[in-house]
Structure 1
Amino acid sequence: MAKIIALFNNKGGVSKTTTTFHLGWKLAELGYKTLMIDTDPQCNLTGLCLNADKENKLTQFYEANNYNIKSALSPVLNNEMRPLEATTCYEFEHNENLFLLPGHIEFSEYDATYNIAENMTGSLVVLQNVPGALRQLITMTSEKYHLDFVLLDMSPSISATNANILMGSDFFIIPCAPDYFCYMAIESLIKVFPKWCSTYDNLRKAEVFKNAIYKMNDTVPKFLGTIQQRYRPRNGSPVKAFSEWIDDINKIVAEKLVPVLDENGML
């Protein structure tokens, strides 16, 4: 089973997408078969990858291909009468170990389904496979392509969809930018992560989800750390205005976020 790593921050513009792209490319260069999944309906990772590899062929790609995160999960999230299957992935011409599952702007429409599945706590049998569907899709696709790593580029929102994506991962990274709004985002995550843990702990205990075909993982994701980016360097270090925010963000992560994650088994 590939290691699943989510990149998440509820603040936008912190380089989640470019971090996913460069990390994925480098892992693949080092010989690890790596899949990048664009779970953000804005599809920035998809655009970046296809433009970098094929010179602006986005329109032609979507017209010619029907594999993306929305279509891959539609058997479960649209309640279609067919099982999940390992999805086809985009293969890069210049990096044979790298793959992409493209995003889709309509993936956001599934948030209502995730939200109902979470809040009904399993009382609707028709939704019993929803929480475990993405993890199962990744497992099947990992076997198909013999993957070592799966990187999930997530949207900057506190949504039921993002709760499912992160709680179905093995690890997560929080990309950061040195500014006040990113500091506020970390403050909010201190409250968000325990709620997500509690929600999915309750789902795992619900009898209907225990009987699902596509079961949830029984572990919580582990925090790998933050990545500080989007600052101006001088003599190899961030200039003062940025370095002060980096210090403040590192401090709130160490003193407030890490203890909360530790309490919830996420370290």
Structure 2
Amino acid sequence: MTAKVISMFNNKGGVGKTTIIWNLAVSIASMGHNTLLIDFDPQCNLSIATIGYEEFAEYLKESEKFPYGRTIRAYAQPYIYQMQINNIHLTQPKHKPDQQLEKPGNLDIVPGDFWLNKFADILTVGTDVVSGAGLYRFLVPLLLVNRLSDTFNKSYEYVLIDLPPSFNTLVRSALYCSDYFLVPCTPDLFSAYCIGLIGEVLPSFVKD
């Protein structure tokens, strides 16, 4: 089954993206659907909230066995440099869907990493996207999901991606890989302005 990839995005911060994506994931998994969360926000709020602060700190630690830690960096950094060895590390949130349901779905998360700030700097829209050179770097979220399916026999029905509040290259990458995106907002002038801004910027993504 092909996963539906959904990004949670708004250029404005403080609109509840992380809270909404977490509750949405739990709700979907509670209905029996295998669900994957990808924390693609360098702030890593989703990882800290769902895994726990101390536990997440352990995932960030580098060692001889885990030179890139046990976060999304362990897959993304070797991949973008076309190294042969790259690993994917999954964990489960502390608070899982209601286990009393007859057939609760599985809920996993790929922890984020502060290194994603550097990854955003590595991605180059002009050359990588328009000419096609290095376009593979923008497909990390989707290729990560495919790798889970091919290598670990992990099949997800829904993949939810949490994103930073900006129009940076991480957002562009996730939107390229998504079937849908949701834009949570608050009832204020700034949120309304950002929705209009998203409407102006997205056509350039589609054109690319």
The answer to whether 1:9 aligns with 2:49 is no
Structure 1 partner of 2:22? 21
The answer to whether 1:130 aligns with 2:137 is yes
Instruction: Output the CA distance in 2 between the equivalents of 1:24 and 1:177.
Output: 21
Structure 2 partner of 1:121? 131
Structure 1 residues 119 and 139, CA, compared in 2 at 3 Å: closer, same or farther? closer
Pick the structure with more helix per residue: 1
SS in 2 for 1:105: coil
* 1:138 Cα offset (Å): 1.5
The answer to whether 1:188 aligns with 2:186 is no
Structure 1 partner of 2:101? none
Structure 1 residues 31 and 10, CA, compared in 2 at 3 Å: closer, same or farther? same
Structure 2 partner of 1:70? 73
* Structure 1 residues not aligned, in runs of 5+: 200-267
Instruction: Output the CA distance in 1 between the equivalents of 2:155 and 2:78.
Output: 23
Instruction: Output the CA distance in 2 between the equivalents of 1:184 and 1:84.
Output: 40
Q: Once the two structures are superposed, what CA deviation does each residue of 1:243-262 show, in whole Å capped at 9, x if it has no partner?
A: xxxxxxxxxxxxxxxxxxxx
* Structure 2 residues not aligned, in runs of 5+: 98-104
Structure 2 partner of 1:82? 84
* Seq. identity, %: 28
RMSD, matched Cα:
2.2
Structure 1 residues 121 and 178, CA, compared in 2 at 3 Å: closer, same or farther? same
Structure 2 partner of 1:204? none
Q: Once the two structures are superposed, what CA deviation does each residue of 1:227-250 show, in whole Å capped at 9, x if it has no partner?
A: xxxxxxxxxxxxxxxxxxxxxxxx
5 Å-filtered alignment, 1:1-267, equals 1-51=2-52, 56-63=54-61, 66-77=69-80, 79-82=81-84, 87-92=88-93, 94-95=96-97, 97-116=106-125, 117-118=127-128, 121-122=131-132, 124=133, 127-142=134-149, 144-199=153-208
- Contact kept, 8 Å, 2:138 with 2:173, in 1: the verdict is yes
Q: Once the two structures are superposed, what CA deviation does each residue of 1:166-207 show, in whole Å capped at 9, x if it has no partner?
A: 1211111111111111011011111110011111xxxxxxxx
Structure 1 residues 185 and 142, CA, compared in 2 at 3 Å: closer, same or farther? farther
Structure 1's consecutive aligned runs of 4 or more residues displaced over 6 angstroms after TM superposition are: none
Instruction: Output the CA distance in 2 between the equivalents of 1:29 and 1:134.
Output: 24
- Contact kept, 8 Å, 1:8 with 1:154, in 2: the verdict is yes
Structure 2 partner of 1:221? none
* 1:133 Cα offset (Å): 3.1
Deviates more, 1:152-161 or 1:130-139: 130-139
Instruction: Output the CA distance in 1 between the equivalents of 2:197 and 2:149.
Output: 33
Structure 1 residues 97 and 38, CA, compared in 2 at 3 Å: closer, same or farther? same
Q: Which protein shows a greater Rg?
A: 1
Structure 1 residues 191 and 13, CA, compared in 2 at 3 Å: closer, same or farther? same
- Contact kept, 8 Å, 1:2 with 1:139, in 2: the verdict is no
Instruction: Output the CA distance in 1 between the equivalents of 2:149 and 2:180.
Output: 16
* 1:142 Cα offset (Å): 4.2
- Contact kept, 8 Å, 1:76 with 1:129, in 2: the verdict is no
* 1:62 Cα offset (Å): 2.8
Q: Give the length in aligned residue pairs.
A: 191
Instruction: Output the CA distance in 2 between the equivalents of 1:56 and 1:29.
Output: 26
Q: Once the two structures are superposed, what CA deviation does each residue of 1:44-63 show, in whole Å capped at 9, x if it has no partner?
A: 00011013xxx753323433
**TM-score after normalising by structure 2:** 0.82
